[in-house]
Amino acid sequence: MSTSLHAEDPVSDSAPVGAPHPRRRWAKTDATQQRILNAAIAVFRERGYSAATIGEVVAASGASIGSIYHHFGGKSELFLAIYEHMAATIESRIADAERSFDAQVRAYLDALWENRHTAVVLGSDDVPPGFERIYRDGMRMWFRDWLSVLDIDHSTHGQLLARVIIALLTESSAMLMPCDTPAEAAPVIDAALICINKLIEV
């Protein structure tokens, strides 16, 4: 799975454009839950999902194994909670941005960079069974909203343009992951928007 997005079925009609995102269970966390999530992100990033154990998350977080199972359940539920929490963070940033393509995409890329360590974990090939579909569907929801702002039609040209834009955002997201500072990330985000605007103007 790529670090961020997929260009498949970019304008799927499985949900209405602009539909509100479902309330996410892990949009808000208390101090203990956040400490566990942060520890799990670090463990999954270092060890990979398959090799990581709940015991390692216990050691990294300082929480008891009973506390982890009480709050999250098993390892796959913990991984999903990481995704839900990051998705809620990104959705909040997008919701606060002005309703324009540039502002929405900039908010997404900014939030993705700020959560890059989590994004690397979620975008790896080592994930729980069924997670790729959850991740892909979440990305499609965001892109469907953004593409509606551009008013791209369903013609062959429109479909190809949508795929090219999503592919460009995919690569931009991947380029953001190694950036250590806002000064390094900013040129990538700016370049992504410049390239997209050039495509739209053609």
The boundaries of the domain holding residue 47 are 31-201
Q: Is residue 131 situated within a structural domain?
A: yes
SS3 144: helix
Secondary structure letter of residue 89 according to DSSP: H
Please say if the pLDDT value at position 37 is more than 70.
yes
Q: Is residue 84 situated within a structural domain?
A: yes
Q: CA dihedral defined by 84, 89, 91, 97, rounded to 10 degrees?
A: 180
* pLDDT score of 24: 54
Q: Is residue 24 situated within a structural domain?
A: no
d(CA 75, CA 43): 11
Q: In the chain, at which residue ranges do the beta strands (DSSP E only) sit? A: none
Q: Is residue 129 situated within a structural domain?
A: yes
d(CA 44, CA 64): 18
Tokens standing for 82? 């990481």
Q: Is residue 57 situated within a structural domain?
A: yes
The larger pLDDT score, comparing residue 26 to residue 61, is at 61
Q: In 10 A of CB 185, how many CB atoms?
A: 21
Sign of the CA dihedral 12, 13, 15, 18? Answer: positive
155-187, pLDDT tens digit by residue?
898 889 888 988 898 899 999 999 999 999 999
Q: Is residue 21 situated within a structural domain?
A: no
Instruction: Give the global pTM.
Output: 0.78
Whether the Cβ atoms of residue 95 and residue 38 lie closer than 8 Å to each other = no
Q: How confident is the model at residue 193 (pLDDT cuts 50, 70, 90)?
A: very high
131-145, pLDDT tens digit by residue?
988 888 887 777 777
Q: Is residue 179 situated within a structural domain?
A: yes
Neighbouring C-alpha atoms within 13 Å toward the C-beta of 87 = 24
Least confident of 21-25, 26-30, 54-58, 113-117: 21-25
Please say if the pLDDT value at position 2 is more than 60.
no
CATH number at residue 54: 1.10.357.10
Please say if the pLDDT value at position 23 is more than 60.
no
Q: Is residue 54 situated within a structural domain?
A: yes
Q: How confident is the model at residue 9 (pLDDT cuts 50, 70, 90)?
A: very low
Q: CA dihedral defined by 4, 6, 7, 8, rounded to 10 degrees?
A: -170
The number of distinct structural domains making up the chain is 1
Task: Encode burial over 111-129: b for 16+ CB neighbours within 10 A, e otherwise.
Answer: bbbbbbebbbbbbeeebbe
* pLDDT score of 12: 42
* pLDDT score of 25: 60
d(CA 193, CA 150): 13
* pLDDT score of 3: 44
d(CA 79, CA 23): 18
User: What letter represents residue 151's amino acid?
Assistant: D
70-123, pLDDT tens digit by residue?
889 889 999 999 999 998 888 889 889 888 889 989 999 999 999 999 999 998
